[in-house]
Amino acid sequence: MRQRLLKLVPQMSAILVLALVTPAVWAAWLGWDQHRDVQPDGTTTGPYEAWQVIGLVLTLLTPVYWAASRRYIAGAVLGTTVGLTVAAYYDWSDDSSGLFVIGVGMVMVGSLAVTAAGSAVIASATRDGRRSAA
C-alpha cells in the first residue's frame, strides 16, 4: 500500500504543477490581447494572432516534456488539459451569446488528444529521463 502511495504522489504533483503553470502561460501569451481587429472591408479577426497560439504551444512543450519523459503521463495530459480548459473558460466566459462553451469544449478535447499523443511519443522516445540510444 505504501509503495502505491509513493508512486501516486509524483503523478499528483505533476498534475498540480501543470494545472498551475498552464493558465499562467495562457495569460502570458493570450491574456493581454482582447481586442478584435477590424479589416478595411468590415470583417473582424482575432483577438489572437497565429504567432501567439504557436508561442503558447511551444512554451507548453517544455513542462509536458518534463512530465512525460519521467513517465508522469497522467500529469502531462490531465494537468495541461485542466489548465487550458480553466484558462479558456475564464478568458471567454464574458461572451453574452453563451457560445464560448463550445470553444472551451473544443480546447478541452483538442488539448486532451494532442497532449496524450505527444506524451506517448515523448515517453516512448525517452528512457529513465534520458533519450534512448535507438
Q: pLDDT by residue (tens digit) across 43-95?
A: 877 788 899 999 999 999 999 999 999 999 999 999 999 999 999 999 999 88
Confidence of residue 36 (pLDDT cuts 50, 70, 90): confident
What is the tally of structural domains in the chain?
Answer: 1
**Percentage of the chain exceeding pLDDT 90:** 64
Nearest to 68 by CA among 115, 26, 9: 115
pLDDT of residue 134: 47
Q: Comparing 7-11, 84-88, 98-102, which segment has the lowest mean pLDDT?
A: 7-11
Mean of per-residue pLDDT scores for the chain: 88
- How far CA 75 is from CA of 38, 44, 67, 111, in Å, comes to 40, 38, 7, 13
Q: What global pTM score does this model have?
A: 0.85
- Predicted local confidence at residue 117, as pLDDT: 97
The helix/strand/coil state of 43 is coil
**C-alpha cell at position 91:** 478568458
Residue 98: the pLDDT is 84
Give the model's confidence band at 5: pLDDT under 50 very low, under 70 low, under 90 confident, else very high.
low
The domain containing residue 61 runs over which residues? 2-131
Which residues are registered as beta bridge partners of 38? Answer: 44
Report d(CA 44, CA 57) in Å as an integer: 24
